Structure 1
Amino acid sequence: MSAIRERRTVDLPLLSPDPIDDQTLGTLLEAANWAPNHGRTEPWRFAVFTGEGRTKLADALAKSLALSQGKEEPAPEARETQRERQRMAPVWIVVAAQPAEKPRMPLYEEQWAAACAVQNLLLAARALGLGSKWISNVPSMHPHTARALGFPEDSTPLGMLYLGHVAGEWPAGKRGPAQDKVRWFRD
């Protein structure tokens, strides 16, 4: 319950540049792999970017943003802005839902299962003391981004996450009472 209550969206400027080791990343991806999914299809797919690998992600996102604006290529300054942004977090993970070859489930169930994998990863990140954020903006969900990063044509991009150690105080959060969001029906 602590990881659930303390999980926060942590803004990029609040992260330290300290790297996250491969063992920790493996633990997070293993947590994601144990998400529930109807049909046991395990549709979640991840592309992990660290170090100089973040440049590939930045370039794909810059091009996707340009394409979404009706341009063929991003302006050089837009590409550099994106690269600077990707350098602000030591780890970026792009997420997609990959339907089974012979789907038994509707696509939305595969997407929801992948979203559950993301939540598992975010909770595990908090349990390990890492800050994170799930982004589902236009460039991160653009089909060009998914294809440029090697996801199959029939996969659905679900956005991306970033991870890092929090520099300073852990952000506070607030929620209204759960009972205000529940309707009970009893005998």
Structure 2
Amino acid sequence: MPEQNQAAMAFLLERRSRPAKTLGLPVPDDRTLGPILTAAARTPDHGKLEPWRFIVLRDQALQRLADAIVDRGQTLGFNDEKIEKMRLQFAQAHLVACVVESPKPSEKIPEIEQTYSAGAVCLALLNAALASGWGANWLSGWASHDPEFVQTELGLKPHERVAGLIHIGTEKNTPPERPRPDLDQITTWMTE
């Protein structure tokens, strides 16, 4: 039997995201965030293409995005409730690590594998933040999927997409545990 990392396995079996609206100050400074981003960048990456990158959003950048949400949502004809929900995601945040899917041309590595790698970075970043003692949550929303918004406001290139917005901060209150999947309902065991 291989040697187990029991602490890591215990963490994974009990890990849980923290709602972004429950995350407050303090947040990791750049030096503290560095190892969290480094851990996320160690994600599976077939072909070593690094088909992702990070944008760290703080302070005025988050407020600027919150303001831009209102204008863009109105332009798109969204109702006030939808706009406000998206605006608050940025306005109430103190630190958001944006994971950008940035696929690279490759004859060997299909773009879908690069997309999966970007998703894996999001989960690795979320887990690294949680393992470091911070509260964290992986969100997205209509603005993060709107090409004009992300290109204008985040500087993404036309071929790039937001894979996730990882909110990180100090948890102010812990919500109750939520139901988890029933392993018997989602697993098929094949022996032949």
Alignment of 1:80-119 (within 5 A): 82=87, 85-102=89-106, 104-119=108-123
Match of 1:174 among 174, 179, 182: 179
Alignment of 1:45-64 (within 5 A): 45-64=53-72
Alignment of 1:1-187 (within 5 A): 1-69=9-77, 82=87, 85-102=89-106, 104-148=108-152, 149-169=154-174, 171-187=176-192
For the 8 Å contact 2:136–2:168, the answer to whether it is kept is: yes
The 1:57–1:69 alpha-carbon spacing in structure 2 relative to 1, beyond 3 Å, is same
The 1:107–1:56 alpha-carbon spacing in structure 2 relative to 1, beyond 3 Å, is farther
Greater Cα offset, 34-43 or 10-19 = 10-19
Paired residue secondary structure (2:24): coil
One-letter amino acid of the structure 2 residue matched with residue 23 of structure 1: R
The 1:137–1:22 alpha-carbon spacing in structure 2 relative to 1, beyond 3 Å, is same
Give the Cα–Cα distance (whole angstroms) in 1 for the partners of residues 105 and 163 of structure 2. Answer: 19
- The count of residues paired between Structure 1 and Structure 2 equals 180
Q: Deviations over 1:68-113 (max 9, x none)?
A: 327xxxx9xx68x82x542422211222211114554332221111
One-letter amino acid of the structure 2 residue matched with residue 167 of structure 1: K
Aligned-CA RMSD value: 2.7
The 1:105–1:64 alpha-carbon spacing in structure 2 relative to 1, beyond 3 Å, is farther
For the 8 Å contact 1:8–1:131, the answer to whether it is kept is: no
For the 8 Å contact 2:36–2:128, the answer to whether it is kept is: yes
Give the Cα–Cα distance (whole angstroms) in 2 for the partners of residues 5 and 64 of structure 1. Answer: 40
Q: TM-score when scaled to structure 2?
A: 0.79
Give the Cα–Cα distance (whole angstroms) in 2 for the partners of residues 4 and 109 of structure 1. Answer: 24
One-letter amino acid of the structure 2 residue matched with residue 151 of structure 1: L
Paired residue secondary structure (1:113): helix
List runs of 5+ in structure 2 lacking aligned partners.
1-8
Give the Cα–Cα distance (whole angstroms) in 1 for the partners of residues 14 and 176 of structure 2. Answer: 9
Paired residue secondary structure (1:164): strand
Give the Cα–Cα distance (whole angstroms) in 1 for the partners of residues 164 and 68 of structure 2. Answer: 13
Paired residue secondary structure (1:4): helix
Q: TM-score when scaled to structure 1?
A: 0.81
Give the Cα–Cα distance (whole angstroms) in 1 for the partners of residues 99 and 70 of structure 2. Answer: 17
Percent of pairs identical after alignment? Answer: 28
